[in-house]
Amino acid sequence: LNRHHGGVKIQPDRLLADIEALAAIGDTGDGGNCRLALTDEDAGGRELVVGWMRDLGLDVRVDRIGNVVATRAGAESTGAGNDAAPVMTGSHIDTVGTGGRYDGTLGVLAGLEVVRALDDAGIRTRRPVAVAFFTDEEGSRFAPDMLGSLVYAGGMPLEDALDIVAIDGAVLGTELERIGWTGDAAVPGPAPHAYVELHIEQGPVLEEAGVTIGAVTGVQGISWQELTLTGQANHAGTTPMRLRRDPAYVAAQTIGFVRRLATDLGGHQVGTVGRLDLHPDLVNVVAARATLTVDLRNTDEAVLAEAERRLRGHVAALASAEGCEGAWRRLARFQPVAFDPAVIDLVESTAERLGHSVMRLPSGAGHDAQMLARVCPTGMVFVPSRAGVSHNPAEFTEPEHLAAGTEVLAEVLTELAGVVE
Ligand code: GLV
Ligand code: MN
Ligand code: MN
């Protein structure tokens, strides 16, 4: 098993240069990026990265939902239809509206660096090695998150995905056509032999522990819901408090309840109201309508389901006490996912073999890997995030940690793909 002891030499400077170049597209001027899914900025990022894939001589395929898979042939490839299933890596290049430059892009660009390193070393793998980026991982423009990988893995019919309406009113299929990224490869896509994704941790655990590599054990369950509260618009000066039907007030109480719910349930439970819209949103008008989102997550499915039940029950009581109507819309619901024990072991032992400190941890963020886990043995490699900050322009990972994660990824992919001696 020690055949490839550090045999794939990655060059961190090339990776850093690629991260820098991609970050120039949708640059928000504060160190961060805005490449919301299927915007012109997303298209710009796609063109740049696919250009690099073609420069590397990879076989680039775009599927019907705009996922891109670039494949380096393996020795066992025998031609159309007969190829061994690839070992796949990848992630996403879309960002939230106030994103950093590492979330997602690291996994894709590190995959390309692994390909370059394999080429440099003249290594032929038995299985092909594929580097993918999936459409709309973030889900902040078009919910749910991990949409492209969900469709790839057969978890949502293509037609349903193409009909999704964005927070700005755009329709997904129309936007995909508009930016020119509707491909002809079929979805669901072919199951890889295995999938391993490198990603920044986006939380504080590795940094606090002083550990370089995370061997990710799985991803917590995710529940996204949108709540629309309807009351009665009225004059802020003349309407007595007892006669108000104020959805803004119910929204505020809901925000307080979400915080208490998470702390009361304890453990891994988290809860967030990330969006709040008031209508008509004017200083002297009691609001007619409040729309907010609730993001609940837990590693334990039963507790997550309990959190959802309590939330709905409590909000129903709050709304009725204020004479408001509440309507829920589900935006995303994914159960917790456990990664493949053999892949977790391989990530851990590879990090140790390369001399990096390593620990096991679950992921707090959603990832394309959790969708691929439905169709093949899957795992992830995490590297630390400074101060645990992510979905923020200040997102940062030390270059030496980016390099360490890419090294581990290179060895793990090579081991899984097998080397022709
Ligand atoms: C998406 O990546 C999320 O975790 O919100
Ligand atoms: Mn991500
Ligand atoms: Mn993200």
| Spatial contact of 207 and 385, defined as CB atoms under 8 Å apart | yes
Give residue 21's pLDDT band: very low, low, confident or very high (50, 70, 90): very high
How far is ligand 3, taken at its centre, from the CA of residue 370, in Å?
14
Give the residue-averaged pLDDT of 249-258.
98
Region at 185 (left for phi over 0; alpha for psi -120 to 50; beta for the rest): beta
Name the closest-CA residue to atom 3, ligand 1: 366
The pTM of this model reads 0.95
Q: Ligand 1: which of 92, 93, 96, 145 to mutate, most ligand atoms within 8 Å of CB?
A: 145
3-state SS, residue 419: strand
Strand ranges inside 163-318, DSSP E:
194-200, 213-219, 221-230, 234-235, 270-272, 276-279, 285-286, 289-298
Asked whether the predicted pLDDT for residue 121 surpasses 60, the reply is yes
pLDDT digits (tens, 9 = 90+) for 336-380: 999 999 999 999 999 999 999 999 999 999 999 999 999 999 999
CA distances for 220 relative to 99, 177, 252, 283, 351, angstroms: 21, 33, 27, 40, 23
Q: Could you tell me if residue 97 is left (phi over 0), alpha (psi between -120 and 50 degrees) or otherwise beta?
A: alpha
pLDDT score recorded for residue 322: 98
- CB of 187 shorter than 6 A to ligand 1: no
* pLDDT reading at 6 higher than 70: no
CA dihedral 143, 344, 389, 256 (to 10 degrees): 60
Q: How far apart are CA 59 and CA 132, in angstroms?
A: 11
Ligand 2 centre to CA of 135 (Å) is 12
pLDDT in tens, 24-42: 999 999 999 999 999 999 9
